[in-house]
Structure 1
Amino acid sequence: MTERIGIVGAGIVGLAVARELAAARGAEVTVLEKEDGVAAHQTGHNSGVVHAGIYYPPGSLKARLCREGVALLKDYCARHGLPYEEVGKLVVASTHAERAGLAALAERARANGVPGIAELDALGLREVEAHAVGVGAVHSPHTAICDFPAVARRLARDVEELGGSVRLAHPVRAIRERAGGVQVLAARRIFTFDRLVVCGGLGTDAVAAMAGRPGEVRIVPFRGEYYALHSAAKELVRGLIYPVPDPRYPFLGVHLTRTIGGEVLVGPNAVLALAYEGYNWRKFGNIRQILGWPGTLRLARQHWRTGIKEVHGSLVKGAFVRAARRYVPELTAADLVRAPGGVRAQAVARDGRLVDDFVVDVHDNVVLVRNAPSPAATSSLAIAKHVAGIVPALVR
C-alpha cells in the first residue's frame, strides 16, 4: 500500500520535503498551506541570497546542509531554467579590531569547504567592490543570488507531477494521532496520513501544540526591515557586502545585497516582532504567546542594549544610512527608500538562548522541523533529504 504523508507548510522547505518523499519513497504526499499561494512568508520575504557556508560551525547541520544544499540548488535551477547568479560576497572589516573575527571567519569557511575563499587587504577589496571601504575583507566569489519564490513554485509543480497535491487555503485546525496514523482537520476536511511532517515556519508552535508536542523551544519572530537603493546609487554595489557578524547572534547585521531582479537592498535589522506575521509595528496579535514564553524575557534581559539599538534602527532612517555608509561611504539618505521586509522564525530555548542550528524532532508519526531559519532556503533541498531520511518508514 502506498505510504500517505502530510506536509504542513508550502514554503520552500515544506515543498522540498514533499518532493523528496514523493520522489525517493514513492509516497502519496499532500501539502497543507493556510495561505492562498506558496512561499507566502519567509520564502517570499528574503533577499534571495544563496549562502555559501561561511558562517556556520563546522560539523553543524547548518554547515553540512548548506554546502550540500548549494550544489543541489544550483543544479536544480540550471535544470529548470530558474535564475541563479554567482555575484560574490565580501565580508568587510571596517576597523582593525574586527580583523581577528574576519580571520576566524575565513578559517571557518575553509573548514566547511567553501570554494575560492580569499583574504583581502584594503586595496584588494576595492578591486572586487570599487566603492567599498574597509581595512580588510573575506571574499567568497561563489556566493550567489536566486529567486526563491520561483524555486518554490517549481517544487510545487514537481509535487503535483509526482502524483501529490498542494492544498492552498487549507489551514490546519486540529491534529489527532491514532494507532498507526494521524488525522488532520484542515479547512473543513479531515485528512488521514500515515506520517505528518510539520514545516510550519512562523506557525510551527501552533501546529506542534495541536499535535500535543509543544517542545522545549519556541518560535520567537524577529522582523527584518529593509531599505532599497534607487536610481544611480544601485551602481555603487556589484554584489553582496556584509559586515563581520557578532558571534553572539545568528543575525548577520545590516548589509547590502544585489537581488536577482537588479535591486540593491540595505538591511535587515532584527527587531522583536509582536505577532508571528508582524511585518510592521501595527501588527501585535500574538503578544501573549511570544512574551509568555520564558525564553523571550530571558533573551530580552540578556541583550537589552542590542534590542534598543535595533529598535532605534527601525524607527530612525539615519541609523540605516550610517550602517550602510560604514562600507559604502558615497551613499546618502536620499539614496535609500523603504522596501518590504520579512519576519524570521527563530527558535529560542527556555533559558533565553537563541537556537543556532537547524532542529528536527521525531515523535512517533509526527516529524517537526522546529528551527529552520537562514540558510534554510539555500539548504532546502538538502534539508529535504535529511528529513526524508529520518521520517520513520512505514511497516505494514
Structure 2
Amino acid sequence: MRPDIAYDCDVLVVGGGIVGLSTAFAISRAAPGTRVTVLEKEPGPARHQTGRNSGVIHSGIYYRPGSLKARFAVRGAAEMVKFCAEYGIAHAVTGKLIVATGRQELPRLHALVQRGRENGIPVRELGAAQIAEYEPEVRGLAAIRVGTTGICDFVGVARQLAEASGAEIRYGARVVRVDRRPERGVAVATARGDVVRARVLVNCAGLYCDEVARLTGDDPGVRIVPFRGEYYELARPELVRGLVYPVPDPAFPFLGVHLTRGVAGDVHVGPNAVPALAREGYGWGVVRPRELAGTLSWPGAWRIARRHWRYGAGELRRSVSRTAFTEAVRRLLPAVGEEDLVPTAAGVRAQAVLRDGTLLDDFLIRESARAVHVLNAPSPAATASLPIGREVARRALTALASA
C-alpha cells in the first residue's frame, strides 16, 4: 500500500436503500472507527425498492430450507421487530393467512406447512370455516396462519439506519465512473464531478447493481431485468383485518396478488409482475431506450419470455384491465368490486436473471479485489436487511484487512 494516497474513507457503499444503509450500520458496530461513506443518487434514502413495497416483515416460510433467504428472513424478522421497538418505528406483528382457493393449490399449501416447520416457523392449519376467525370476508378451501409475519415502516427503518451508522451519507451522488486498482484502492466519480477515494467498495445499487459491477471491471454474470409490481389501495379497508396471501406458484419468485393492511391502517392490493420498460419504470409511460435495449439484448430475457409466456400474458392482462385485476382479488375477497380498487404507487423489482433465463431465487453476494457486490437482493431483503448487512459488512471488512 502506497503511503502517499489520501483516502476519503475506508469503505465506500454505493446505494442508500435499506441493504446499503444496513451494511454501513453493521460496519460501524463491528469495527468502530472505520470510515464509511454512502453514495445515493436520489435526494434521500429508500426511494426505490425499499420504499415501494408492501411493508411486510416476512416470516421466511416460502424459502428453501438452508438457503440464505430462509436463514436471513427468519433471523431478520425477529431482529426487525426488535429494531423497530428500540427506535420507536411504526410496526406490528399481525400474522398472516395463506389461503388456497382451488383444490389444485392444496398440495402446495401442505408443502408450505412442511417448509415452514423445517425453517422453525410456527404454522397453524385452518379449515374453510376457521378462516373466518381471522378474516370474516375471505373465502377459501383451507389456509395456514403464520404468526410471526408483521408489518413496519421500512423507510423509517432506513432513515434510522443512516442516522445510527455514523456514516457520511452523500445524496444526489450518482456514480458514473469507477477506477479500481489493486495497489491504489478505488476511486469513484459522480455525475456532479466529485471523486471519492476508498480502500474498498461495496455495491448495494439495487436496480443498477450489475451496471456498477461492470463499472468496477467485474463481470456480474447476471443481468437485472426489472419487473414492475402495480398496486391498488382498498377503498373499504374494513374488509381486511390483516394480511392475506394466495398460495404462490413455486415456478416463480413472485407471491401473487395479496392484501396487506399497513401500519397506517390502509390496505394495499397487489402486486402483479409485468416487465418494466426502464429500471425505474413505474408506469407504462416510462421508457428508457438504453435500459430497454440492455434488457432485450440479454439472452436470458428472451428465454424467460418463451418459457413463461402464458403466466406473463395473465399478468399483462391484469395490468391493463382493472376488471381482470379485480377478478384475481375476488378469488380471496369476494366482496370486493372494481370501484373498491384505487390506483396507488407501483414498485419495480430488481430481478437478477442468468444468461440461460434462470430467475435467481436466492440472495447473491460476490467478491472481487477490493469490492463486494450484492447482485440479487429481492424480497425479503427489507425483512432480512440487518443480517444481510452484517454478512456484507463481514466481507467488506475482510477485504479491508487485506487491502
Q: TM-score range by the shorter chain?
A: over 0.9
**Other-structure match for 2:97:** 90
**Other-structure match for 1:7:** 13
Say whether the 8 Å CA contact 1:196–1:366 is kept in structure 2.
Answer: yes
Q: Are 1:139 and 2:126 counterparts? A: no
Q: Are 1:243 and 2:246 counterparts? A: yes
Cα distance per residue 1:145-172 (max 9 Å; x no partner) = 000001001111112xx3x200000111
Q: Cα offset for 1:84?
A: 1.2
**Other-structure match for 1:313:** 318
Which amino acid in the other structure matches residue 255 of structure 1?
A: H
Q: Flag structure 1 segments of 5+ consecutive residues without an equivalent.
A: none
Q: Are 1:215 and 2:220 counterparts? A: yes
Q: Determine helix, strand or coil for the equivalent of 2:383.
A: helix
Q: Are 1:367 and 2:363 counterparts? A: no
Structure 1 moving runs of 4+ over 6 Å: none
Q: Distance in 1 between matches of 2:109 and 2:373?
A: 35
Say whether the 8 Å CA contact 1:87–1:238 is kept in structure 2.
Answer: no
Q: Cα offset for 1:395?
A: 3.7
Say whether the 8 Å CA contact 2:95–2:145 is kept in structure 1.
Answer: yes
Q: Cα offset for 1:214?
A: 2.9
**Other-structure match for 1:270:** 273
Q: Are 1:177 and 2:180 counterparts? A: yes
Q: Determine helix, strand or coil for the equivalent of 1:42.
A: coil
Q: Distance in 2 between matches of 1:208 and 1:138?
A: 41
Q: Determine helix, strand or coil for the equivalent of 1:30.
A: strand
Q: Cα offset for 1:180?
A: 4.6
Q: Determine helix, strand or coil for the equivalent of 1:44.
A: coil
Q: Distance in 2 between matches of 1:207 and 1:393?
A: 19
Q: How many residues are paired up?
A: 390
Say whether the 8 Å CA contact 1:194–1:394 is kept in structure 2.
Answer: no
Match of 2:158 among 152, 167, 181: 152
Q: Are 1:72 and 2:79 counterparts? A: yes
TM-score (norm 1): 0.96
Cα distance per residue 1:92-144 (max 9 Å; x no partner) = 00012211000000110111111x31111001111111111101001012210
Q: Distance in 1 between matches of 2:162 and 2:391?
A: 19
Say whether the 8 Å CA contact 2:137–2:335 is kept in structure 1.
Answer: yes
Say whether the 8 Å CA contact 1:197–1:366 is kept in structure 2.
Answer: yes
Q: Determine helix, strand or coil for the equivalent of 1:167.
A: strand
**Other-structure match for 1:63:** 70
Q: Determine helix, strand or coil for the equivalent of 2:202.
A: strand
Cα distance per residue 1:15-53 (max 9 Å; x no partner) = 000111122112110000011110010011111000001
Which amino acid in the other structure matches residue 386 of structure 1?
A: E
TM-score (norm 2): 0.95
Q: Cα offset for 1:393?
A: 3.9
**Other-structure match for 2:193:** 188
**Other-structure match for 1:343:** 348
Q: Determine helix, strand or coil for the equivalent of 2:283.
A: coil
Which amino acid in the other structure matches residue 58 of structure 2?
A: H
Match of 2:115 among 108, 111, 122: 108
Q: Are 1:384 and 2:392 counterparts? A: no
**Other-structure match for 2:229:** 224
Q: Are 1:331 and 2:336 counterparts? A: yes
Match of 1:205 among 184, 205, 210: 210
Which amino acid in the other structure matches residue 357 of structure 1?
A: D
Q: Determine helix, strand or coil for the equivalent of 2:156.
A: helix
Q: Distance in 2 between matches of 1:177 and 1:98?
A: 51
Q: Distance in 1 between matches of 2:372 and 2:173?
A: 19
Q: Distance in 2 between matches of 1:196 and 1:395?
A: 13
Q: Cα offset for 1:305?
A: 1.1
**Other-structure match for 1:42:** 49
Q: Distance in 1 between matches of 2:402 and 2:211?
A: 29
Q: Distance in 1 between matches of 2:371 and 2:361?
A: 23
**Other-structure match for 2:300:** 295
Q: Flag structure 2 segments of 5+ consecutive residues without an equivalent.
A: none
